[in-house]
Chains A and B, each alone.
Chain A
Amino acid sequence: MGRLNWLVADVIDAVPETPRVKTIKLDVPDWEGHLPGQHVDVRLTAEDGYQAQRSYSIASEPNRNHVELTVERIDDGEVSPYLTEELRAGDQLELRGPVGGYFVWEPDRGGPLLLVAGGSGVVPLMAMLRHRAAAGSSVPATLLLSSRSWDDVIYRDELSRLNGSGLNVVHTLTRSQPDGWTGYARRVDEAMLRAVAPPPGEAPLVYVCGPTPFVEAVASALVALCHEPTSIRTERFGPTGG
């Protein structure tokens, strides 16, 4: 560890995940690897020196030089429209990291694992699930993912392939559902968590990520269900200055 330095990454590719979300694949020279759940700080500088800085969770599982960030375009955001609409292969992106040591999970921490995500909050949790799969881990895991609609589910097909082998993926679609949908169709609440989560007696390791109101509602509901507060780790996404 030690002081973080700004690194210059090369953009290899920018791939749409959903209408609002893109994954940016980066080649980062001198990258020393990362833990699932960590993020990077990205810094953009305009020609006149104006700067903006934001944090993005690393979506990819640990790998020597290759880092993936999944970014949701925020309407009238300052940085996300640039990253999702302007940035392209061949560009460079300045970043530092990996950052964070609290909201991380590796298979040797054990489980069972309960991951609860609101929208793009799924990104750091996906890094955990990809690492779990790559490591061949048998730690039982549950992902409860709240999305606006089926078209907005990030990593939808990959999650459906990962489902099984100890991983249970549960979706809830809060705004619209496809015809014939029999799954959850409301915001995550205590009743849904009671049905989906491992019981408190199994002492799951819990990671909750998404917008602040989502995280707070879910964490409160889990505590009301008698999950141990110290077993619940949270990461709130929101506007950051820069």
Chain B
Amino acid sequence: MPIVSRGFRGRRRDDAPSDRIPPGQYATNDFPVLSAGPTPRTPVAEWDFAVIGEVDKLHHWTWDEFRALPSETVTVDIHCVTKWTKLDTVWEGVSVDTLLEGVDTAAEYAAAFCDGGYTTNLPLEDLTGGKAWIAFAYDGEPLDPEHGGPARLLVPHLYFWKSAKWVRGLRLTSTNEPGFWESNGYHIYGDPWREQRYWGD
């Protein structure tokens, strides 16, 4: 049994409305940077985004083509599996619905792939219907490389390890293929409201 450390509080916010904090989470005002490897720094001139896999044909955008697509600004709460929740974060990005418009597929799942080799997987229906974006700006500024810039996947209704940094595309698949964390302990789906952090949760 751990002993209680007299007078220790830690870095939590006390004032967050509890109905917005999923079970087991703490609210923070910081934006912690979590990384599993060196930060990629891809110049936008070399960046592209692709939708590949079980599709009719390769769909592909250069940075300029991507930025010419309609985008939107959204305010969402984000929940990291390491127990941090940050409320009211503001992002600008292209809805994944926009990117998948005109993509002909029978696939039910997608695997996001990224500079640096990170991958994560999720059902296609969790990427569509206005639930996900490819975000290129945070808090009104271009997305910093340490937070995933030039662009990252943003899927706020799932734990934030699914919001893959440095995303370069989606591979559509007929089976749900576990990504970097899902293949080593983390839950294949990751719903913060059902506290699906690890295998078997």
Contacts and interface: CB of A to CB of B under 8 A. Distances in A.
Interface of A: 6, 8, 43-47, 50-52, 78, 82, 86-87, 91-94, 241
B4 interface: yes
B8 A44 contact: yes
Contact of B6 (A43, A52, A91): A91
A45 B3 contact: yes
A52 B2 contact: no
Which of the four size classes fits the interface of chain B?
10 to 19
Interface of B: 2-12, 26, 32, 34, 82
B1 to A, nearest CB: 9
B162 to A, nearest CB: 19
B4 A45 contact: yes
Name which of A6, A43, A50 has the most chain B CB atoms within 10 A of its CB. Answer: A50
B161 to A, nearest CB: 13
Contact of A46 (B10, B34, B82): B10
Nearest to B5: A44
A51 B10 CA distance: 8
Contact of B10 (A6, A50, A91, A93): A50
Nearest to B10: A50
A8 B7 CA distance: 16
B4 A51 contact: no
* For the complex of A and B, 6 pairs with smallest distance between CB atoms: A44-B5, A45-B2, A78-B11, A44-B8, A86-B7, A50-B10
A44 B82 contact: no
Nearest to B30: A76
A4 to B, nearest CB: 14
Given A241-B34, A241-B82, A46 B11 contact: no
Given A51-B2, A91-B5, 19 more contacts: A6-B2, A43-B2, A44-B5, A45-B3, A45-B8, A46-B5, A46-B8, A50-B9, A50-B10, A50-B12, A50-B26, A78-B10, A78-B11, A82-B7, A87-B7, A91-B6, A92-B3, A93-B5, A241-B32
